[in-house]
Each structure stands twice: as C-alpha cells, then as structure tokens.
Amino acid sequence: MIRALGDWLDSRTGYRHLLYEALYEPIPGGASWHYVWGSTLTFVFAVQVITGLFLWTAYSPSTLTAWESVYYIQHEMSFGWLVRGIHHFAAQAMMILLALHFMQVVIWGAYRAPREINFWLGLILMQIVLGLALTGYLLPWDQKGYYATQVATNIASVTPVVGPALQQLAQGGTSYGHQTLTRFFALHAGVLPALLVAFLGLHVYVFRRHGITVFKKYRDQPIAPFWPDQVLKDAVACLVVFATILFFVRWKGAELAGPADPSEAFSSPRPEWYFLFLFRFLKYEWVEHNLGLAGGAIYVPGAIMAVIALMPIVGRWKLGHGFNVAFTLALFGGAGYLTWVALDEDRRDPELQIAMAEAHADGQRAIELAHEFGIPATGVLSLLKEDPKTQGPRLFARHCKACHTYNGHDGTHRPVTTATAADLGQFGSREWVQKVLVDYHEVFAPLMNGKEQQPDGTVAIIGERFLAGDMATWSKDNRAALTDPANAESLKALVEFVVQQSGRKDLEPIDESLAKAGLDVFQLGTLKTGTLSSGCTDCHTMHVAGQESPLSENPGSGVPTLTGYAGKEWLLRFIANPGHDDFYGANNKMPAFAETMTERERQLLVDWMTGDYYQPAESKH
C-alpha cells in the first residue's frame, strides 16, 4: 500500500531520484569530520530562518515600537528569551563557522579549478551574511545598535560619488527614524534572506556537481555514500553547534540595552565583536592620516576582498597557493590581533566601563519600568525621561557636580576633580544629620576649596564664613557632649526627630517615641547628662509637622530653616533659591537653580535625592 503510494508519487514527481541524489552523493574515502563545516553553516542559516520567522510574528518596526516589541518578546512572551536568544547567538555562530569554512577552503586549495565559480559564490554569500548581521543589529533599536549602526551608515556615506545618496537611501532620509527601521527590516527579513537562499542553492548545486574536495591520500580509497555515515557526522556537528548556542542563551542571554535616544550621548558605542577589528583599524591615527576615512573603511577592505576574489587565479601558479594561504592566515591573524587590542583597551578604559555599565543599567531600568507600568503610546523613552532614578544622576552631573560630589563621584559614577562643596550622597539621611551635628567642619570642609576674587583684588575663601561660622562653632563646642557614650541615646533621638520632620518616605520607618524624645533635645538642648550650649531653636526656624504654632521663628537670619529639613519641599525651595531668607540669605554662594533648571528637572532631581521613585519589590531594602 505504502509502496504503491510511493510509486504513484514518484511517477508524478521523481522524488526518489531527488532523494537518491541527495543522500547517495559519493564521498571518496568515506565520511569524515572534515566535511561537516558547510553543513553546519547551512544548518545555522536554517535556524535563523525558523527563529527569524517566529520573531517576525511579534516584532514591530518603528521608533516607538521596535524596542518595545523586542522588550515584550524578551521579557513577557513565553519562550521569547529562548527564540530571541537562539537567533542572537546563532548569528554569532554563523560568523565563526563562516571563518572556519573559508579558512578550510583556502588551506585545502578547494578554490582551484574547477571550483572557482563556487568560491566566488561563497564570497557573495559571505557578504550577504555580513549584511544580515549589520541590519539585524539595529532592529532592537537600543542604544548599542543605534549608535553602532550610525557608524556603519556614515561609513557608507563616505563612499566616493554615491556615498550621501547611499546613506539616505539606507536611512530612508537624512537622519534615523521610522523609515530606517522599516528599510533595515525589509533588508534583514526579506531581501537578504531571499538572496542568501538563491546563492546558497547555487553554491550547493555547483558543489554537488564537482563533488567534495578530497585530500590526496584519500583519492584512491573506496567510495562511501553520504547516507548514513556522513549524515550522522553532519548531524552530530550541528547538534554540537546548537547545544553551544543554547548554552550561551542560558548563560548570557541576548541583551537589550537602553532604548535608542538621539538626545542622550552614548559613550560606549561598539560594534558586535566580529566587526571590532575594523572598528579598531579605523581608530589608528596613521590610518586616518594616510588613508582617510574612505581609504580605511572602504578601499582597504575592498582591496582585501579583491585579493581574496583573485585567489583561484593566483592559485594556478606554483607559489600562488602558498601566497593565498599565507594571506588568509595573516588576515585572520591581523583581525584577531586587532580584536584583542580593541577588547584589551576597552577593559583598561575606566570611563568606557562606566559608560557600558550605565547603558546596561538604563536597559535594566527601562525593562523594570515597562514591566511595572506598561509603555505609554509615546514609547518607552518617555518612561525613562520621567524617571527620577534615571534622570536624577544625570541632572546632578550636569548642574551640581561643578561644586558637589555624590558619594565621591558626580552622580553617574564618574570622577570629580575638586569638590568645593559638601558631598550629597547621604544628604538628609540619619548619617548626614548626625555628621552635620558632630562633625560640621568635616562635612563642609570642601568649601575651603572654593575661592572668590574680591573687589579689592584679594582672594577670599568662600568656606570661611561657614567653617568659622556659628554652626561650625556650635558643632565643635558640643561635639564632646554629643559623642559621650552616655548621651548616645540623646543624639539618636535628636537625629530621629530631624529625620522625622523631613517626611521622607525613603527614611521610614521612623521610631516615633525616639523622635518624640528628640524634640526635647532639639528645643531645650537637654541631654541625658548635661546640656548643649544652645538648643536648635535658638537660631533655626522650626514648624513641627502637624502643630499649629511654630516651635521657633527666626526669618531672615541667614540660618536655614529646619522646617521639613531635607524633605522634598525643603529641597525644592532650597535648590530654586538658596539665597532666600529662609536659607543662607546673604551668606549664600550657591546659584539659584530656578534660573537654570526647569521646574520639572528640579522635581526629578529632588525625587532622586530623596529616593522617591519606583523600586521593584525584590530590590527594596
């Protein structure tokens, strides 16, 4: 019955002949592990087609949906991490297998007659694969892909004569946008795979026509068919490749960096590792000096491709094959060396490491926010732009680091050369309040670095008015009493009261009874043993939260009010105008940021400094 059906089908289609041709290809000397590389490449391409088609069902190419849909694939959809991970690492496997396949062909001299055409077909396939890698890298529309691909399209733009037109055709305009994504996607998922299939068909057809290239010593050996021995070896090799890909998916996973943001400088743009050698090559000054950008990025690689393309012809001469092998090894050696140099330099570059960590953190943050709140129609960038945790450090680095530090850095973990004002990393916390009380001169010591030219030509140290001021004196006078172990509880109570008055959520929970005891210390200066030289209310204004009448009022004194000290309202008012009578008055030297920052920016900065932003449950402390 099955046989009759088979006969019927065969008479209509001739499938048996096809199957026979496919499976009983003669292999002189029998199956060998040497012959598996071409099959693994074809296999990985098939994996890319399969996973790519499935990714297509969920990907949405536009600047407002590309990152968003990839985020959804990677972090929300079932097995999305797996399918995208396979696609991501299989692309890299393809690069490695391509290099191995190419090296084998050259070393074995498989490019020689009658296989020249097939060698050239292979070179075309290589270009298509590189094109797929390049176009695919942009599609997630993250910072990494966005800036790395900018470099590639700008290289295209320095092509003589047609460059600018080429760039605009690729981008779909003069800058990146929706059309860049739709064009890259059409190339990546449509044009290039179709070309690859066509050329791969020709490649395999011509390969079968000439048969496998066999080492001399096997040429007189008996012939064995492709099926089953070689099929088994090929399949095992594919299995190993696939297992390696899966290992990387589990171990590393496909990263999604922060969403592409043309307004945000990205300080660590790097191409994928397989283009790093070209990237490093272009960084040599002598390349730029002697060859120019077009020379380094287009003519030199073009010349190398030309030499490779001429290999079948050069290989006809006696020494030609030797040259080809030497050239190939030198090429891979050189590329390997440049890749290593690039990686090594990056490892030793602390600024780049910070930038990479920042990009990674932005990506993680965008994912957290998207997961918690969902993404508005304006895209994920608007979530990041409104996020204090993301914007606060940047605003600090832009507006505050000229004088202040934040835990020793500029808010974004970059170093600050000389601080001329207090470190604000712990501002308003229990540690901060205690330190201001006990070690005022230490907290504000950086003020001594701030100098100002006086009208009479002398230089005044700004910090002197604070470090020799009333509060500094008070702190020195009362240091012994406050740090007396017998008064530890009193100090804790005083700090707790001040912290309670800030109303800050990030400093909760408040020990209410402790804070209540702290009120007495604050007002009267009574400690467990002894008293303070004066209570806080002797100089500072204080309206206790929830009480009708003020504890003390002392406006216009140049002594900062402690009403809601270090809380959101206090900080917002302070940053807007520190020279206000409620704050430093005439003593003030800090700029009024109401003039240089928008209200929204000040709000974001303060929300960040007071820890008022979304934290996912597991990282809450």
> How would you label 117-130 residue by residue, b for 16+ Cβ within 10 Å and e otherwise?
bbbbbbbbbbebbe
Residue 616 to residue 158: CA distance in whole angstroms = 46
Q: In this structure, is the dihedral angle defined by the CA atoms of residues 99, 105, 111 and 115, taken in order, positive or negative?
A: negative
457: left (phi over 0), alpha (psi -120 to 50) or beta: left
Choose between 225 and 253: whose C-beta lies nearer to another protein: 225
Token pair in block for residue 259: 């969403």
Minimum distance from CB of 568 to another protein (Å)? 25
Choose between 7 and 288: whose C-beta lies nearer to another protein: 7
Minimum distance from CB of 10 to another protein (Å)? 6
Residue 619's alpha-carbon distances to 179, 230, 253, 604, in angstroms, are: 39, 53, 21, 21
Choose between 55 and 356: whose C-beta lies nearer to another protein: 55
Minimum distance from CB of 87 to another protein (Å)? 9
Choose between 85 and 269: whose C-beta lies nearer to another protein: 85
Choose between 301 and 376: whose C-beta lies nearer to another protein: 376
Choose between 21 and 452: whose C-beta lies nearer to another protein: 21
Choose between 31 and 133: whose C-beta lies nearer to another protein: 31
Residue 55 to residue 80: CA distance in whole angstroms = 8
Minimum distance from CB of 582 to another protein (Å)? 38
The per-residue DSSP string of 88-144 comes to HHHHHHHHHHHHHHHHHHHHTTTTSTT-HHHHHHHHHHHHHHHHHHHHHHHTT-BHH
The residues that touch another protein, with contacts defined as CB under 8 A, are 7-8, 10-11, 14, 16-17, 20-21, 24, 26, 43, 46-47, 50-51, 53-54, 57-58, 65, 68-69, 71-73, 76-80, 82-83, 86, 222-225, 227-229, 231-232, 235-236, 238-239, 242, 370, 373-377
Residue 493 to residue 514: CA distance in whole angstroms = 5
Minimum distance from CB of 136 to another protein (Å)? 17
CA-nearest of 421, 428, 365, 396 to 610 is: 428
Minimum distance from CB of 604 to another protein (Å)? 20
Minimum distance from CB of 69 to another protein (Å)? 6
Q: 618: buried, middle or exposed (CB in 10 Å: 19+, 13-18, 0-12)?
A: exposed
Residue 473 to residue 437: CA distance in whole angstroms = 11
Minimum distance from CB of 548 to another protein (Å)? 34
Choose between 10 and 470: whose C-beta lies nearer to another protein: 10
CA-nearest of 141, 137, 142 to 152 is: 137
Token pair 């990677």 in the structure block, residue: 74
